[in-house]
Chains A and B, each alone.
Chain A
Amino acid sequence: MAITDFSPVDRAGAFEASFPSPRKPHTHRRTSMTTSGDNLKRLLDLYRTMARIRAFEETALEAHKAGDIPGPLHVSIGQEAVAAGLCANLRPDDRLTSNHRGHGHAIGKGAEPARMMAELYGRASGYCRGKGGSMHIADFSVGMLGANGVVAGGIPIACGAAQGLKLLKSDAIAVCMFGDGATNRGPFMEGMNWAALYQLPVLFVCEDNGVAAFTAAESVTAGQGVVARAESCGVPGVTVDGNDVLAIEETARDLVASIRRGEGPRLLHARTYRLLGHTSTDPAAWRRAEDVEAARGREPLTRFAKLLQERGATEDALGAIRKQAMDEMVKAREGARAAPWPETAVAFDDVQDVGAVAWAR
């Protein structure tokens, strides 16, 4: 299989040191962000996606703190490289299932931040007309089949989407995003076996930020980790530095290409770090301050900015991208705040065609 051709490069270093786990170090595709032949525009596009995800979530956090956004909010600050690098390789008709920390996945897949923000605000112009919120954003028009409030909930759905696409003789693929925590639920193992059994066109992406809610993943996870688990079912997997957007982008490109060629499912294990708490109100104070500080030093946007500057991008140009992203999100927030609430009758529609209960005033 193509995956086993990947040259084993020992990545043990500062990044690995933050994961003092008994897992065996897996092989990696790239040594660092030094791949030649990248043109600057493609790199700047990746940077723009990351900056937009960051700006969206920073804006949402602020709005949540101001009391504008109701309900829980799970942000992925520090993990943007995974969504950006991955989604750069997807087509609009590729389907993606996401999890509770899915804003980045949605933006990467092409969803409009203004409609996402309106959904966070619970407004009529939101993607789900105010019926979903942060944890249920979907945009079927760009293949984003929905965030999910149930850990591992998207895994069987992605398997089925891939199976359906195969049945329809489409060459689109399914992509399934989940966290390290999901690998301890039954549907993960069911899904690996299933996808391998039917050789489905599905890419599993484990966004491993080392924590599940308030618990270090390694303290509740036995064995050799997600790649070993997947490979035990016949799904080839590869581990990459999830804070290295080029490593993600290039590895995902190879994996997507082989899946599209009909070579069956693959797993991408991206090791990253959740810089903030589980939800917007969680300070995650249980973490050692020096670990968090060290993680900040590996933060993907700053890291990628450095590389871009080495490749000739000016700080001004990067600053302009960040500013443009922030302007877009501030505008999205203003739009959301000004948008009307949904009519109460909306609560009563889209339940079912037959047997629906009518809204009585």
Chain B
Amino acid sequence: MGAVTLVEAVRLAALQEMRRDNRVWVLGEDVARGGLWGQYKGFLDEFGPERVVSTPISESTIMGAGLGAALVGTRPIIEMRIFDFVMCAMDELVNQIAKVRYMFGGQAKPAVVVRMPHGMWRNSAAQHSQMLEAWFAHLPGVVVVTPSNAADAAGLLVQAIRSDDPVLFFDPKDLWQAPGELADEIAPIPFGKARTVRTGDAATLVSWSAAMPLVEKAAETLAGEGIAVDVLDLRTIWPWDEDAVAASVKKTGRLLVVHEAVEVGGFGAEVVARIVDRAGPTNLKAAKRLGAPRIPIPFAPPLEAAVRVSAEKVVAAVKGML
């Protein structure tokens, strides 16, 4: 296949899976027009309005109907348009989808994928920029997928659609146009396996989703100054690859977790806590998190930039640990 953008990669992944399994269908606002982001472009023509269902602006029912349809044996992709709108469907997601299998003693597995494009994107302000993936790592019953590039996003989406677990799939919307490579046949990528981006002994940098490219940039800057770091892309935050991070930290002795989300109570805190616990506090020289301050995302470009983690901030944080 060759070079594709991230949005094209996930489009092709969903297309491949809908061709493979006719129980897979998609519902959400504007999906018959290709979706807000073009991630379903051409689907209506190929699969028709019964499998590509443009819905009313009824998030509760988009989510809940996806669940009901899964309970009778179909495999819906539930499109939330923009992550922030899932707030209108929290009962259906948290109290229903995440609970039915457990609560009913294993009588049903809700095989749904909930797609929620998240993060800052072109100054969209406080209600269209949030990254709250940590909330869902806190929620038993779901898988939380947070890809950062085209190939991972496509492979993880294939895995998500084939999974019997409910999968919350966070498309990184700031990276839609990021270039990547894709094979003709998109193979599933297992959940909970980190990707090693580069290696070094000075520190371990862990990240996911939209913060990943700037962590890679920071690692390059550091390398130019003779500081080589391990960089791991978790790719999924639940389950997450604790073994890979622990192994790296055993080598480097220093851990920095970077995410675009607010630092307080972010998933970085969980990673740090687990790794400190596992390594033993005296075996670590430093274990830190870097995220956004605990404020809503502001609109004006200079304000938004001030909130955002950046490669410079990552470089400074690493140097502060050495």
Contacts and interface: CB of A to CB of B under 8 A. Distances in A.
| B69, B105, B164: most-surrounded residue (chain A CB, <10 A) | B105
A355 B60 contact: no
Contacts of A136: 103-104
A176 B55 CA distance: 20
Nearest to B51: A167
B163 interface: yes
Interface string A332-361: 000000000000000001111111010000
Interface residues of A, number: 51
Interface centre among B50, B64, B101 (most CB of A within 10 A): B64
Given A190-B60, A194-B61, A157 B96 contact: yes
A60 to B, nearest CB: 19
A355 B23 CA distance: 25
Given A132-B103, A153-B96, A167-B74, A355 B143 contact: yes
B244 interface: no
B2 interface: no
Q: How large is the interface on B (under 10, 10 to 19, 20 to 34, 35 or more residues)?
A: 35 or more
A146 B67 CA distance: 12
Contacts of A354: 143, 163, 165, 191-192, 239
Given A164-B68, A167-B69, A355-B192, A197 B56 contact: yes
Interface string A259-295: 0000000000000000000000000000000000000
Interface stretch (A8-16, A71-79, A123-131): A123-131
A138 B58 contact: no
B105 A132 contact: yes
Interface string B69-105: 1111110100000000000000110011000111111
A300 to B, nearest CB: 29
Nearest first, the 8 A-B pairs at minimum CB distance are: A156-B64, A160-B68, A160-B65, A164-B69, A128-B105, A355-B239, A350-B106, A161-B68
Given A129-B106, A132-B104, 13 more contacts: A138-B104, A153-B95, A155-B61, A155-B64, A157-B65, A159-B65, A190-B60, A194-B61, A350-B106, A352-B141, A354-B191, A355-B143, A355-B191
17 contacts: A128-B104, A129-B106, A130-B105, A138-B105, A140-B71, A140-B107, A155-B64, A156-B60, A156-B92, A160-B71, A163-B53, A163-B65, A187-B91, A194-B55, A349-B106, A353-B164, A353-B165
Interface of B: 23, 25, 50-51, 53, 55-56, 58, 60-61, 63-74, 76, 91-92, 95-96, 100-109, 140-143, 163-166, 191-192, 238-239
